[in-house]
Every structure is written in structure tokens, then in C-alpha cells.
């Protein structure tokens, strides 16, 4: 108890690195400390960085063709975190089943020691630990491409190009062109990967994309509601509460239960980002990998919480000025004053992240639990108006 209390005190010291505070905070909250997960994170970061570099190389080739000169490209996205955590989850399970297996360690370090054609044989039950990590690598590579592609689609849909970085002085028109070329190159390669896989994989991916795009198609409607609410329309406020904050699911989510469906903004944020990760986890399952329901819920809830706590909080001023409805801008319309709105944003975030952390612990995935804690401790709600004195 004394150790947990001391860890909690240290976790609240902002001068310490956020990653360390996250480890301490998760231990203080749950009593779980797994040193192996810290080294596992380094392995996962290296493997997935190599996968992202492959994506970047492919995009740079397309940009060179488009602009007639070599172009250095980077794209800042945090949305591949769930793919990293899922790869770590499978690695950990495989090592628990076959401790000290040098082939598993070699695969984790990027050494192609096993024939990586397992998925072509179709899903299987009771995979050997070595084949588990091979299939997890395949699915993580596919998932990273799919997630970056989806994030790029959202950025283009929202006319948000500031995260597309190139090594020349790009105008706004150039940034749009860069974004569209990058997304097109990624989609073309992704389509080719999916064509080589069993139809059930492509169907699962397309279902998630269609579900998400149906939400994007309502963006103009939500913008109209926000504009009307800003002008004092009481009916618009009622519609935001009923159609955005507490919207009912018209198609059941694959992962979430009644507990999660009743959370504020559950349906709209599931459609906005959560469904893409439900679809991602389906890909791992279709590859024959055992993905625990608690782990899946932890991933979906964590990414929704991160979207609100990191992106929507940071973008509040811009979103308010541009008429973009998010859980954060919605609360500043629905609450009686700024302080109440501030408290509601914190409360909504904590509902998602606390549940995600509890599911991560139940799934025996300390790496995910620490990641949820990291998300929470990375947020800065003080940029919002109405902070209580």
C-alpha cells in the first residue's frame, strides 16, 4: 500500500517524464507493474516504425512522380497506437506460451526466420506461438496502412492538411495535392493487399470503412446544428443532445456492450473512430488470433477517449470557429456555463479512459493499461475556457 501511495504521488509530479508518470500511475491505480512490458514496448516501437517507414517510402515515390522531384514526406498520426498495442498483446501471449523461444524473439526483432505465408492458408484454431507472431506481424502491417489511410481520408474530408509535412514551402493548394496523392498511393497499395487475402478479410475492412464514412456523410448536418445552436436555437440544442450526445445505435457495434453504448457520445464517436479499431481487431481474429473481448473494449474505448482528450480538447478554439461539432464543442453549447462545460469534458473523458484501463487490466495487458494512463496524463484541459479556480 505504501509503495502504491508513493507511486501515485510521483505520478502527479509534472516534472517527471510522462511515460514514467504513466507507469507509476497505472501501478498506483491497479497494483500492476510488469517490467517485461517496458522492454516489449521498445520492441513494438521499432517493429512498427519500420512498417510506417515502408508506408512513407511508398508515398514519397508517388509524390516524386507527381511533383517531378524527390520529396521528403512525414505525416503525424497517433492513431496507429491500437495496432501497436495489439501486436504487443499477441507477442506477450506467445512468449507466455513458449518462453525463451529464439524464433519468436527473432521475428519480434525483424528477422524473417519463418515463411510468412500463413494467412493464405486461412484462419486456424490453436495456433502455435511462432505462427501467432507471424500472423500478428502480417495483420499489424495491414492495419497500419488501413489506419493511416482512414486518418488521411478524414483529414481530406475536413480540409485539415497541417499534419502533411514536406521538405518544400507548400501552399495550401500544394498541401491538399500532397494529401490527395499520399492517400491515393496508400489506397492503391492497400487495395492490392486486400485482393490477395480471403474475401472475408476484405469484407470486414470494407464494413468498417462504410460505417465510418456514413458518419462523415452527416458532417454537414452536425455543422448546421452547431451553427443554429450558436445562434440560440433551442431546438438545435435538443437535437445535439439527442442525435449527437445520446444518439442510439442503428447497427449494433461488434465489441461494445450496453455499458459502453450508454456512455455520452458513444454512437457518434464509435462511428467516428471506434469502428475502425473494431474492424482492425476483426482482421486479427480472422487470421486465427485469439483477441480477448476485454482487450478489444479497452482498445476501442481508449481511442475514443484519446480522440476527445487529445485532439478535440487541443482543437477546441479552431473547431468552435469553424463550426465543427465534437464532444468538446458540444459540451460548451449544452452546459449552462463554461465551468460546467469544462467539468463535463473531463468527466466524459474519464468515463472512457477509466473503463478502458479496467478492461486492459482484466485482459492481462499491462502495456495497454499504461498506454491508457499515458493518454490521460498527456491531455491538457487547461487550454479550455472555464477551468475551476
CATH number at residue 253: 1.10.600
115 or 149, greater pLDDT: 149
pLDDT value of position 214: 84
Nearest to 260 by CA among 356, 164, 142: 356
pLDDT value of position 21: 74
Task: Tell me: pLDDT of 3 over 50.
Answer: no
Residues β-bridged to residue 166: 73
The band of 67, judged by pLDDT with boundaries at 50, 70 and 90, is very high
Domain membership of residue 12 (yes or no) is: yes
Domain span at residue 145 reads 34-383
The whole-number average pLDDT for the span 157-161 is: 82
Same domain, 129 and 100: yes
- Tell me if 60 sits within 8 A of 72, measured CB to CB: yes
Alpha-carbon torsion (166, 170, 172, 178), positive or negative: negative
Same domain, 76 and 167: yes
pLDDT value of position 382: 93
Q: Is 171 helix (H, G, I), strand (E, B) or coil?
A: coil
Alpha helices in the chain (DSSP H): 2-11, 18-30, 35-67, 81-97, 102-108, 129-157, 172-195, 199-216, 219-230, 234-240, 258-261, 266-269, 275-286, 293-306, 313-314, 316-322, 327-334, 338-362, 366-378
Please write the tens of the pLDDT for every residue from 258-299: 999 999 999 999 998 899 899 899 889 988 899 999 999 999
- Tell me if 134 sits within 8 A of 287, measured CB to CB: no
Give the contacts of 313 (CB within 8 A, at least 6 positions apart).
Answer: 328, 345, 379, 380, 381, 383, 384
pLDDT value of position 360: 94
Rounded to the nearest 5°, which phi and psi values hold at 34? -125, 100
Same domain, 25 and 170: no
- Tell me if 332 sits within 8 A of 341, measured CB to CB: yes
Residue 229 grid coordinates = 445552436
Same domain, 67 and 145: yes
Task: Tell me: pLDDT of 149 over 50.
Answer: yes
Domain membership of residue 389 (yes or no) is: no
Same domain, 73 and 9: no
Same domain, 156 and 41: yes
Whole-structure pTM value: 0.88
Same domain, 26 and 44: no
Same domain, 109 and 22: no
Domain membership of residue 309 (yes or no) is: yes
Residues of the chain above pLDDT 70, percent: 87
Report the C-alpha gap between 155 and 267 in whole angstroms: 21
Domain membership of residue 171 (yes or no) is: yes
Residue 306 grid coordinates = 484519446
- Tell me if 26 sits within 8 A of 373, measured CB to CB: yes
The whole-number average pLDDT for the span 38-61 is: 89
pLDDT value of position 118: 43
Task: Tell me: pLDDT of 17 over 90.
Answer: no
The region that residue 110 occupies, defined by phi over 0 for left and psi between -120 and 50 for alpha, beta otherwise, is left
Structural domains in the chain (count): 2
Same domain, 363 and 228: yes
Same domain, 246 and 221: yes
The region that residue 364 occupies, defined by phi over 0 for left and psi between -120 and 50 for alpha, beta otherwise, is left
- Tell me if 32 sits within 8 A of 26, measured CB to CB: yes
Task: Tell me: pLDDT of 123 over 60.
Answer: no
Domain membership of residue 327 (yes or no) is: yes
Domain membership of residue 388 (yes or no) is: no
Same domain, 22 and 154: no
Same domain, 15 and 152: no
pLDDT value of position 117: 45
Domain membership of residue 145 (yes or no) is: yes
Domain membership of residue 42 (yes or no) is: yes
The whole-number average pLDDT for the span 207-222 is: 86
Give the contacts of 308 (CB within 8 A, at least 6 positions apart).
Answer: 265, 269, 326, 327, 328, 345, 348, 349, 352
Amino acid at each position: 500500500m505504501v509503495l502504491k501511495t508513493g507511486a501515485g504521488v510521483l505520478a502527479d509530479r509534472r516534472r517527471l517524464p510522462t511515460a514514467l508518470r504513466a507507469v507509476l500511475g497505472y501501478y498506483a491505480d491497479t497494483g500492476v507493474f510488469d517490467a517485461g512490458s517496458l522492454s516489449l514496448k521498445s520492441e513494438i516501437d521499432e517493429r512498427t516504425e519500420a512498417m510506417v517507414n515502408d508506408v512513407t517510402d511508398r508515398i514519397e515515390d508517388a509524390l516524386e512522380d507527381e511533383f517531378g522531384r524527390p520529396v521528403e514526406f512525414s505525416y503525424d498520426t497517433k492513431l496507429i497506437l491500437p495496432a501497436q498495442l495489439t501486436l504487443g498483446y499477441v507477442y506477450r501471449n506467445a512468449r507466455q506460451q513458449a518462453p525463451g523461444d529464439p524464433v519468436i524473439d527473432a521475428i519480434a526483432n525483424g528477422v524473417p526466420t519463418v515463411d510468412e505465408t500463413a494467412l493464405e492458408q486461412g484462419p486456424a484454431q490453436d495456433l502455435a506461438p511462432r505462427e501467432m507472431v507471424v500472423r500478428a506481424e502480417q495483420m499489424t502491417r495491414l492495419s497500419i496502412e488501413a489506419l493511416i489511410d482512414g486518418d488521411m481520408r478524414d483529414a481530406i474530408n475536413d480540409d485539415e492538411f497541417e499534419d502533411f509535412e514536406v521538405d518544400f514551402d507548400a501552399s495550401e493548394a500544394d498541401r491538399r495535392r500532397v494529401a490527395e496523392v499520399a492517400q491515393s498511393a496508400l489506397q492503391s497499395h492497400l487495395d492490392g493487399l486486400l485482393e490477395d487475402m480471403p474475401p472475408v478479410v476484405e469484407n470486414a475492412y470494407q464494413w468498417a470503412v462504410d460505417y465510418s464514412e456514413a458518419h462523415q456523410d452527416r458532417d454537414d448536418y452536425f455543422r448546421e446544428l452547431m451553427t443554429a445552436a450558436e445562434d440560440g436555437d433551442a431546438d438545435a440544442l435538443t437535437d445535439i443532445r439527442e442525435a449527437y450526445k445520446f444518439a442510439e445505435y442503428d447497427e449494433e457495434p461488434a465489441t461494445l456492450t450496453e455499458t459502453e453504448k450508454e456512455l455520452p457520445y458513444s454512437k457518434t464517436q464509435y462511428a467516428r473512430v471506434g469502428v475502425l479499431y473494431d474492424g482492425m481487431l476483426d482482421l486479427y481474429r480472422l487470421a486465427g488470433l485469439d483477441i480477448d473481448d476485454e482487450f478489444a473494449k479497452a482498445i476501442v474505448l481508449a481511442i475514443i477517449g484519446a480522440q476527445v482528450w487529445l485532439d478535440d480538447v487541443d482543437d477546441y478554439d479552431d473547431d468552435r470557429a469553424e463550426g465543427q461539432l465534437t464532444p468538446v464543442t458540444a459540451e460548451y453549447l449544452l452546459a449552462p456555463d463554461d465551468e460546467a462545460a469544462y467539468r463535463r469534458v473531463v468527466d466524459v473523458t474519464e468515463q472512457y479512459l477509466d473503463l478502458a484501463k479496467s478492461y486492459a487490466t482484466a485482459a492481462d495487458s499491462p502495456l495497454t493499461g499504461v498506454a491508457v494512463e499515458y493518454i490521460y496524463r498527456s491531455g491538457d484541459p487547461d487550454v479550455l475556457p472555464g477551468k475551476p479556480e
